[in-house]
């Protein structure tokens, strides 16, 4: 099965620009992703020629910043940004294409002792249904984030073995 639906743009850690508020390293994000996720009001002030970066720092309200200094906050997006949402909140969606959330993982863990979220998403990727490059605010494949979320939710729940 396919392991990832899209390749993320990368920087070396030394050259990655930093968020102007939090100082966290940012990652490049395609303009198509930014345009797809901004509200109408925020889209009206978008510079279509500037390079955009994504800030994943949960303590910072900035989601995107462009090379000209424009900032786009969580309130400027059509979807909640899981990196910015409080851990354990119901709206903490990890997979924007197929609705995999920490809440769903938690329910699945409580019922069966494990989450099959990664298997479900991999099946969708193999079938060519994924659009992380547009739907995920980070503009990149969610599988790594999904695996980390499953590990985090599993550790917090103490689950790991099917209940019988």
Asked whether residue 109 is assigned to any structural domain, the reply reads yes
User: What's the chain's Rg over C-alpha atoms?
Assistant: 17
Asked whether residue 134 is assigned to any structural domain, the reply reads yes
Is residue 22 within 8 Å of 55, Cβ to Cβ? yes
pLDDT digit string, tens, across residues 109-123: 999 999 999 999 999
Domain match, 114 and 147 both:
yes
Domain match, 135 and 107 both:
yes
Asked whether residue 16 is assigned to any structural domain, the reply reads no
Give me the pLDDT at residue 59, please.
94
Asked whether residue 133 is assigned to any structural domain, the reply reads yes
Check the CA dihedral 121-123-129-133 and report its sign.
positive
Asked whether residue 7 is assigned to any structural domain, the reply reads no
pLDDT digit string, tens, across residues 97-109: 999 999 999 999 9
Domain match, 124 and 98 both:
yes
Asked whether residue 10 is assigned to any structural domain, the reply reads no
Instruction: Quote the CA–CA distance of 34 and 46 in Å, as a whole number.
Output: 9
> Tokens representing 101?
């959330």
Q: What is the mean pLDDT of residues 129-138?
A: 95
**Number of domains observed in the structure of the chain:** 2
* Residue entry with tokens 């920087």: 11
> Tokens representing 109?
């863990």
pLDDT digit string, tens, across residues 48-97: 999 999 999 999 999 999 999 999 999 999 999 999 987 766 668 999 99
Asked whether residue 17 is assigned to any structural domain, the reply reads no
Q: Name the β-bridge partners of 10.
A: none
Q: CATH number of the domain that 44 lies in?
A: 2.20.25
Residue 98 is part of which domain span? 93-157
Last residue of a domain, one of 48, 76, 104: 76
Contacts of 52 (CB under 8 A, 6+ apart): 28, 29, 30, 31, 34, 64, 65, 66, 67
Is residue 130 within 8 Å of 97, Cβ to Cβ? yes
């Amino acid at each position: 099965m396919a392991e990832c639906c899209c390749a993320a743009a990368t920087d070396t850690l030394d050259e990655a620009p930093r968020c102007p508020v939090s100082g966290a390293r940012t990652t490049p994000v395609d303009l198509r992703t930014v345009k797809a996720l901004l509200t109408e009001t925020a889209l009206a002030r978008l510079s279509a020629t500037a390079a955009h970066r994504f800030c994943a720092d949960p303590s910072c309200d900035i989601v995107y910043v462009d090379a000209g200094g424009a900032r786009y906050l969580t309130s400027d997006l059509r979807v909640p940004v899981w990196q910015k949402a409080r851990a354990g909140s119901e709206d903490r969606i990890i997979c924007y294409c197929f609705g995999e959330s920490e809440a769903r993982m938690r329910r699945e863990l409580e019922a069966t002792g494990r989450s099959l979220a990664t298997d479900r998403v991999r099946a969708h990727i193999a079938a060519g249904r994924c659009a992380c490059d547009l739907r995920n605010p980070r503009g990149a494949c969610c599988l790594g984030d999904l695996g980390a979320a499953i590990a985090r939710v599993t550790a917090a729940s103490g689950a790991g073995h099917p209940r019988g």
